[in-house]
A and B are shown apart, each in its own frame.
Chain A
Amino acid sequence: MNKNPTLLAGKLKGLGLAFLATLMSFSLFAQQAGNISGTVTASGTQEPLVGVTVQVQGTSRGTTSGANGHYTLAAEPGDSLVFTYIGFDDLHVVVGNSSTLNVSLHASAKGLNEVVVTALGLEKSAISTPYTTQAVSGDELNRVKSPNLMNSLAGKAAGVVITQGSAGPGSSANVILRGYKSITGNNQPLYVIDGVPMSNPTTSQAGGLNSSRSADGGDAISNLNPEDIEDITVLTGASAAALYGSRAANGVILITTKKGKLGVSSVSVSSSATFSNPISLPKLQTEYGQGSGGELNTSVNDSWGPKIDNGSDAHLDDFFRTGQTYINAVSVTRGGDLGAFYLSYANTNAKGIVPENTYNRNNFTIEGSSNLFNDKVTVQGSMNYINQISRNRPSAGWYNSPMFGLYLFPVGDDFSKYSGANYQKFDSTRNMYVQNWPYVRNEASSNQNPYWIQNKIQSDEYRSRSIYSFNAKWHILNWLTLSGRVNYDRSEDRFEQRSYATSDPTTVGANGKYVKIPSTTEQLYTDFLLSGNKQLGTDFSLAATLGFSVTQNKFQNIDLETNGATTTLYYPNYFSVYALEGAFTHTERLEKQLSQAVFGTATLGYKQTVFLDVTGRNERSSTVNDPFFYPSIGLTYVLTNTLAPSDFFSFAKLRASYAEVGNALPFGVANNNPNYTLSQNGNINGRGSMPFFSGTDTISLKPERTRSFEFGGDFRFFRDKLSLSVTYYHATTDDQVFQIGAPAGAGAANFWINGGTILNKGMEAMVSYDANFGQVKWSPSVTFSRNVNQIRKLSDLLTADRFVLNSGFRLTQLFLTRPGSETLRGRKYGSYGDIFGRTYQRDDKGHILYGDDGLPLLSAANDQYLGNAHPDFLMGFNNSFTYKNFSLHFLVDGRFGGVIASSKEQWLDFKGLSKRSGEARDKGGVMVNGKLIDPEVYYQYISGKADIAAAAEEYIYSATNVRLRELSISYAFPKFSNVFKDLSVSLVGHNLFFFYKKAPFDPDVSISTANSLQGMDGFQIPTTRSYGITLSAKF
Chain B
Amino acid sequence: MKRINKTACTVLALSLLISLGTSCTKQMEGLNRDPKQISDQDLEQDANAGGFLLPTMMNRILSTSTSSQTQQNLEADSYAGYLETPTPFLNNENTVTYFMVGRYIDNTWNVSTQGVMDNWLLMYKNGIQDKYPDLYAIALIIKGMAAQRMVDAFGPYPYTKYGSAAEVEFDSGKDAYAAIYADLTTAVKNLQAAEAADPNADQVRFAKWDGSTLKGEYTNWIKLANTERLRMAMHISLVNPTLAKQWAEEAVDPANGGVLDASTGSFAVYAATVNPYYTYVNAWSDCRLSASIQTYLEGFGDPRLPVYALPAEDPELGGAIRGIRAGSAKPSKDRYVNFSKPNITPDMPVKQMDVAESYFLRAEGALRGWNMGGDAKTFYEEGIRVSFQANGVSGVDDYLQSTTTQVPYVDPKNPANDTTAVSDVTVKWDDGATFDQKLEKIITQKWVAMFPEGSEGWTEFRRTGYPKMYPIKESHNPELPYGTFIKRLTYPPAVTNSSQAQVDAAVKAYLGGHDSAAQPLWWDID
Contacts and interface: CB of A to CB of B under 8 A. Distances in A.
Contacts of A509: 283
A622 B27 CA distance: 9
Interface in B1-16: 6, 9-10, 13-14, 16
B283 A565 contact: yes
B89 A620 contact: no
B267 interface: no
Interface in A631-649: none
A575 interface: no
A697 to B, nearest CB: 10
A409 to B, nearest CB: 16
A679 B272 contact: yes
Contacts of A300: 331-332
Nearest to B276: A566
A743 B502 contact: yes
Interface stretch (A180-188, A664-672, A769-777): A664-672
Q: Which of B32, B109, B122 has the most CB of A within 10 A?
A: B32
Contacts of A107: none
Interface in A719-767: 740-749, 751
Nearest to A747: B163
Interface string B243-275: 000000000000000000000000000001110
How many of chain A's residues touch chain B, expressed as a range? 35 or more
A677 B52 CA distance: 12
A741 to B, nearest CB: 5
Interface in A379-423: none
Given A683-B272, A799-B501, A594 B332 contact: no
Contact of B283 (A566, A678, A685, A807): A566
Given A477-B6, A683-B272, A745 B170 contact: yes
Interface stretch (B177-185, B391-399, B418-426, B489-497): B489-497
Nearest to B6: A476
B121 A747 contact: yes
Interface string A470-482: 0000001100101
B497 A441 contact: no
Contacts of B13: 482, 528, 530
A686 interface: yes
B6 A744 contact: no
A919 B167 CA distance: 52
Given A444-B89, A671-B32, A582 B38 contact: no
Interface in A462-496: 476-477, 480, 482
Given A741-B498, A799-B501, A567 B6 contact: no
A35 interface: no
B196 interface: no
Contacts of B272: 583, 679-681, 683
B17 A594 contact: no
B333 interface: yes
Contacts of B332: 297, 299-300, 443
A591 interface: yes
A693 B55 CA distance: 25
A453 to B, nearest CB: 18
B158 interface: yes
A674 B498 contact: no
Interface in A527-581: 528, 530, 546-548, 550, 563-567
Contact of B273 (A299, A480, A583, A799): A583
Given A745-B499, A747-B163, A686 B36 contact: no
Nearest to A745: B158
Given A566-B279, A673-B40, A668 B17 contact: no
B403 to A, nearest CB: 43
A382 to B, nearest CB: 24
Contacts of B121: 747
Given A443-B87, A443-B88, A530 B14 contact: yes
A477 B36 CA distance: 50
Contact of A947 (B90, B283, B334): B90
B402 interface: no
A687 B38 CA distance: 11
Interface in B209-255: 211
B497 A680 contact: no
A528 B35 contact: no
Contacts of B33: 668, 671, 674-675
A601 to B, nearest CB: 15
27 contacts: A299-B332, A300-B331, A441-B334, A477-B6, A530-B17, A550-B20, A564-B279, A566-B279, A582-B274, A590-B35, A590-B36, A591-B34, A593-B31, A594-B28, A623-B32, A671-B33, A674-B34, A675-B39, A676-B37, A683-B272, A686-B119, A695-B165, A743-B167, A749-B114, A751-B166, A798-B498, A945-B93
Given A590-B35, A686-B122, A743-B498, 14 more contacts: A297-B332, A443-B333, A528-B16, A564-B279, A565-B283, A594-B31, A668-B32, A668-B34, A671-B32, A674-B33, A745-B161, A800-B500, A804-B498, A940-B91
Interface of B: 6, 9-10, 13-14, 16-17, 20-21, 24-25, 27-28, 31-40, 43, 52-53, 55-56, 59, 66, 87-91, 93, 102-103, 109-110, 113-115, 117-119, 121-122, 158, 161-168, 170, 211, 272-274, 276, 279, 283-285, 331-334, 337, 493-495, 497-503
